[in-house]
Amino acid sequence: MAYKGSLMVTDEELLQGLKKCKKLGALAQVHAENGDAVAEGQIQMIELGITGPEGHGFSRPPILEGEATSRAIRLAGFVNTPLYVVHVMSIEALEEIIRARQSGQRVIGEPVISGLALDDSLLFDPDFDVAAKYVMSPPIRPAGHNIALQNALSSGLLQLVGTDHCAFNSTQKAAGKGDFRKIPNGVNGIEERMHILWNIMVNTGKMTPMGYVRVTSTACAQIFNIYPRKGAIIAGADADIILLNPNTTFTISSKTHHSRIDTNIYEGWTLRGKIETTISRGRIVWENGKLNVSPGSGRFIPLPPYSYLFNGIDKIDSDYLASIRASKQQKK
Query: pTM to 2 decimals?
Result: 0.96
Per-residue H/E/C for 234-274: CCCCCCCEEEEEEEEEEECCCCCCCCCCCCCCCCCCEEEEE
d(CA 153, CA 157): 6
Residue 231 has pLDDT above 90, yes or no: yes
Stretch 234-248: mean pLDDT, rounded?
Answer: 97
Comparing 205 with 329, which gets the higher pLDDT? 205
Which pLDDT value is given to residue 165?
97
User: Percent of the chain having pLDDT more than 90?
Assistant: 98
Q: How confident is the model at residue 328 (pLDDT cuts 50, 70, 90)?
A: confident
Q: How confident is the model at residue 329 (pLDDT cuts 50, 70, 90)?
A: confident
Identify the burial level of 98 via C-beta atoms within 10 angstroms of its C-beta, where 0-12 means exposed, 13-18 middle and 19 or more buried: middle
Instruction: Name the phi and psi angles at 284, rounded to 5.
Output: -70, 120
Q: How do residues 110-155 score in pLDDT, each as one tens digit?
A: 999 999 999 999 999 999 999 999 999 999 999 999 999 999 999 9
62-79 helix and 11-24 helix, angle to the nearest 10 degrees: 50
Residue 327 has pLDDT above 90, yes or no: no
Residue 24 has pLDDT above 90, yes or no: yes
Residue 19 has pLDDT above 80, yes or no: yes
Q: How do residues 255-310 score in pLDDT, each as one tens digit?
A: 999 999 999 999 999 999 999 999 999 999 999 899 999 999 999 999 999 999 99
Q: How do residues 151-196 score in pLDDT, each as one tens digit?
A: 999 999 999 999 999 999 999 999 999 999 999 999 999 999 999 9
Tell me the average pLDDT of the chain. Answer: 97
**CA distances for 106 relative to 27, 100, 101, 111, 308, angstroms:** 10, 8, 6, 17, 10
